[in-house]
Structure formats: structure tokens, C-alpha cells
């Protein structure tokens, strides 16, 4: 189970503060530093990519259907 803490003890509440994630792994621990803002940006970027990929799939499916129809391919 991972634990999260702010890297510094400043008494501010902001998304740009660095967070440390500590995870127990076999025979050691792993720490990763990031900000909440970075995670939210990563999520938004993935959502945008997902939408774009969906549009590309729809377009490609339509193009393949058009090609099959034009060439009378089943």
C-alpha cells in the first residue's frame, strides 16, 4: 500500500507542491516525486488522446468501408 506526503512542511495548499509517494517493494522501498498538477495534466492529456484516437478509428473504419465498397471486397 502506498503512502503520500508533501515533500516540504510549508503550510500552503496548492496543486504545485511536490508530493512523495512511498511504496513498499520486495526488500526495499520506492519513492516517486510528483505534483498533483502534473497528475491532473497527465490525466487530461490521456483523455484528449483517447478522444483523438477514437476519432481516428472512426475515420479509418469509414475509409476502409469506402475502399471495400469501391473495390467490391467483402
**Is it the case that residue 2 has pLDDT exceeding 80?**
yes
**Is it the case that residue 74 has pLDDT exceeding 80?**
no
> What does the mean pLDDT of the chain come to?
90
pLDDT at 25: 76
Helix locations, 4-35, DSSP H? none
Rounded CA separation 38/49 (Å)? 16
Phi–psi pair at 28, nearest 5 degrees: -165, -175
Name the band, by pLDDT with cuts 50, 70 and 90, for residue 29. Answer: confident
pTM of the model: 0.60
pLDDT at 12: 76
Q: Which among 18, 19, 20, 25 is positioned nearest to 1, based on CA atoms?
A: 25
- Residue 44's H or E segment, with its range, is helix 36-70
The three-state secondary structure class of 34 is strand
Amino acid at each position: 500500500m502506498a503512502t503520500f506526503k508533501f515533500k516540504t512542511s510549508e503550510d500552503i495548499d496548492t496543486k504545485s507542491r511536490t508530493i512523495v509517494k512511498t511504496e513498499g517493494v520486495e526488500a526495499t522501498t520506492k519513492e516517486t516525486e510528483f505534483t498533483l498538477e502534473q497528475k491532473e495534466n497527465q490525466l487530461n492529456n490521456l483523455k484528449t488522446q483517447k478522444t483523438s484516437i477514437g476519432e481516428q478509428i472512426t475515420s479509418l473504419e469509414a475509409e476502409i468501408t469506402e475502399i471495400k465498397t469501391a473495390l467490391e471486397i467483402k
